[in-house]
Structure 1
Amino acid sequence: MIGATLRYSVSLLFANNILFPYDTLFVNLIGCFILSYLLHQDLVRRNFKPEIFTGSTTGIIGSFTTFSTFSVEVVSLFHSSISFAIFYIIISIVGGIFLCYIGYLCATKRQESK
């Protein structure tokens, strides 16, 4: 419920744009970073009970991000603009992997500096 409410809140910020799904792109990319950071941050893992950790990562972050909406938007974009659809796919995948890596680096660098 928390993640879905946050995602809805973000969609309200981008409500005026109907040509490109910036809201879904934003939540998915931010979610990639946050999830990777949390999963690779030992301090977070140690200080939270497994149920809280799983609820936070799988529950909150999982419901914040949205693959199903991404998929529907890709199909819609193909009908209106193939180039936008391809751009959206590429930026989502490459950007998601990149931000996962940045989240990993931030989490592990913080641990190495201690």
Structure 2
Amino acid sequence: MSIKLEKYIISGWGWNEQYDTNTVLQKATIPLQDHSKCWISGAELDESHLCAGGTTSGGTCMGDIGVPLGGVARIEGGGPRFVQFGIASRDMQSCGVPGTTIYTKVAYFMDWIRANMEP
């Protein structure tokens, strides 16, 4: 199953532009980017990664490693639900500066996740 959305949602408690810890959960909508947008920053990406961000609408900041990259999608005949597509694994920009972030692709590791989940 392959789902593609126009915009994805990120949320987290990491630092803000003043490098202070947020006391309110932050969120932003960002697009996926071609791997080359993250590769420019010196990172090597493969099929286990997603590259997202690069807009002025917000993005990840220090302290946001581990935040979900998700969106609302319909899954095989069901109603809309939040689906997690990635987990932030490497920031490529400073706080308050538009840039990209590398995410670990959840779908790539689903076999391992299922095999290691508690019943």
Highest RCO, 1 vs 2 (Cα 8 Å, sep ≥ 6): 1
Structure that is richer in strand per residue: 2
Provide TM-score, normalisation by structure 1. 0.27
Provide TM-score, normalisation by structure 2. 0.26
Bigger radius of gyration among the two: 1
Structure that is richer in helix per residue: 1
